[in-house]
A = this chain, B = another copy of it.
Amino acid sequence: METGDLRSAEVEFVERIGLMSEEDGLPRIAGRIMGLLMLSEEPRTLDDLAETLQVSKASASTNTRLLDRIGMVDRTSRPGDRRAYYRIAPDALERSLERMRRRTQELVELVEEVLPEVPSESARARGRLTTMVRWHRFVLQELTSLQERWEDDDE
C-alpha cells in the first residue's frame, strides 16, 4: 500500500483543490480525494485515502461514492484482493465539461420557460432574456466543438 505521509507541497496542493471544489459545490473532502488521486502514482484503497487525508472512513466512503457517481473517479480492482482501488477517471476532464454543459442547458430551459410569461410591454426585459438564451446556446455549441477539437488534437 503506497501510503506514507505527504510532503508539505502535496498537502498544500490537496488542500487548495479541496477549497476550489467547495466553490464548485462539491464537499471539501471530495475535493481533497481528487487532489490526492491526481498526485498518486497508484490507485488507492479507501483506508489509504482515509488515513492519508486524516478523515473518517465514513467520509472517505461517502465521498468516493459521490465522485464515482458523477464520473470523476473510477473503482479498480486487483486479483486476489477484496478491496477497491480508486483512481482519477481517465475521462475526468471531459466529465467536468459535461457538467458545465448540463448546467448551461438547464439555464437555457429555465429562461425559455419564463419568457412567454413576460408581458410584451416589457420590451427591455424580453430583449435581455432573449439575448441570454442566444448567448448560452452559443456557449453550449462552442463547448461541444471545443471538446471535439481537443479529442482530434490529442491523438
Given A114-B10, A142-B142: A93 touches B41 (CB 8 Å cut-off): no
> Hey, which chain B residues are within 8 Å of A142, CB to CB?
142, 146
Task: From the candidates B23, B38, B110, name the one contacting A25 in the complex (CB within 8 A).
Answer: B23
* Identical copies of this chain, number: 2
Task: Give the number of chain A interface residues (Cβ < 8 Å).
Answer: 43
CA distance A93 to B136 in the complex (A): 9
User: Which of B17, B24, B39, B125 has a CB less than 8 Å from the CB of A40?
Assistant: B125
Please give me the 7 A-B residue pairs with the lowest Cβ-Cβ distance, nearest first: A41-B122, A9-B117, A13-B114, A23-B25, A142-B146, A41-B125, A93-B135
> What are 29 A-B contacts defined by CB distance under 8 Å?
A7-B117, A9-B113, A9-B114, A9-B117, A10-B117, A13-B113, A13-B117, A17-B110, A20-B103, A20-B110, A38-B111, A38-B125, A38-B132, A39-B122, A39-B125, A39-B129, A40-B125, A41-B121, A41-B122, A41-B123, A41-B124, A88-B128, A93-B132, A93-B135, A97-B139, A135-B150, A138-B146, A139-B146, A142-B142
